[in-house]
Amino acid sequence: MSAPVPACESTLATLPQPLLAGISGGVDSVALLHALVGTGHRPIVLHFDHGWRAESADDAAWVRDLAGQLGLRFVGGRMNSTAGSHREADARAARYAFFARTARKLDLPDLVLAHHADDQVETFLLQLLRGGGAAARGMDALTRRDGLVLHRPWLGVWKKEIAAYARQHRLTWREDATNADTRHRRNLVRRRLLPYLQKLAGKQVAQNLWRAAEIQRAESEWLDALCAEEAGRPDLLVKTLRAAPLAQQRRTILRWLQHRGVTDISFADVEAVRGLLEHTIPAKVNLSAGRFARRRAGKIFVE
């Protein structure tokens, strides 16, 4: 059995074992599961039912049956309540919380997901539109989150390649009708914004955005490494940081605030702290959750 494209075969083969696999039942995750089994993996299949659609229970049962047909263990989860606005962020948070709970229970942190190149482009665009700044870099192929080690081996594979693989192997999958609902921002980007950009700038728009995300991701990793020592300090040395280039100042402050447990950091927060490098008055700037950054004796610290 071959992987969707030759470049992916070695990527899947080198994933750790044992392994968890997040399977929604859609073509992407079904193809990934099929390819994983074909490269010798026996993943535990995880499926999370958000309970937002009448047929979501059928999807969960279908994935459970698929796991059984492949001789794989299945673990399912479901939202506690279907009330609310059905926000994408809430769905994502609940899904990853289920993944993390299951990983802890099974003492198995490695989880593989079927995110692909089209997902990467959409994520990058959404990050840019939100004013993501340093966070606008798309997804990483390897991420650590809440005790999970997330593997995304198909970020360089396009949806059309996955669909071709599924047809080649005569796979069946479930279609989620909400993927056509443009009230969700990602669907709006996929179905309206990207087609418009292709008309405006040509068919290579998606490839160009994917390339931009890849460049930004690599440069972001380099900048994080460059700032790691200063960002890990309990306080910032004004003289040292003032001598650094602007981009390094901003990234150091961002990561330093994150290390100090500051949340909801905006561009304005970073710039306010950066202002303490040049000005002694005011010597304090407000941050989230009632905390603030203060300059004293040539150092900046969080209180």
Q: What is the pLDDT of residue 135?
A: 67
Q: Dihedral of the CA atoms 241, 243, 249, 253 (nearest 10)?
A: 10
As to burial, measured by CB atoms within 10 angstroms (0-12 exposed, 13-18 middle, 19+ buried), residue 114 is: buried
Residue with tokens 């989620």, as numbered in its chain: 176
The whole-angstrom separation of Cα 150 and Cα 24 is 16
Tokens coding 189: 């980007």
C-beta separation of 35 from 165 below 8 A: yes
**pLDDT of res. 139:** 94
Note whether 136 and 219 are within 8 A (CB). Answer: no
Q: If 0-12 CB within 10 Å is exposed, 13-18 middle and 19+ buried, where does residue 122 land?
A: buried
Q: Are 283 and 273 in contact (CB under 8 A)?
A: no
User: Domain spans of the chain?
Assistant: 6-197, 232-302
What phi and psi values does residue 110 have, to the nearest 5 degrees? Answer: -80, 120
Q: Under a CB-based contact definition with an 8 Å cutoff, are residues 134 and 250 in contact?
A: yes
Query: How many whole angstroms separate alpha carbon 142 and alpha carbon 265?
Result: 23
DSSP string, 3-36: -SSHHHHHHHHTS-SS-EEE--SSHHHHHHHHHH
Query: Distance between the two ends of the chain, CA-based, in angstroms?
Result: 58
Query: Chain centroid to CA 86: how far?
Result: 19
Return the C-alpha torsion angle 189, 194, 200, 206, nearest 10. Answer: 140
Mean pLDDT by groups of 10 residues along the chain of 303 residues = 47 90 96 94 94 81 97 92 64 92 97 96 92 79 93 94 93 84 84 94 94 94 95 95 95 94 87 88 82 92 91
- The dihedrals phi and psi of 112, each to the nearest 5 degrees, come to -100, 140
The phi, psi pair for 123, rounded to 5°, reads -65, -45
232-302 — its CATH code?
1.20.59.20
Which CATH class name applies to 6-197? alpha beta
Determine contact, residues 264/288, Cβ cutoff 8 Å.
Answer: yes
Coil vs helix vs strand at 143: strand
**Distance (Å, whole) CA 57 – CA 77:** 11
Question: Three-class SS of residue 6?
Answer: helix
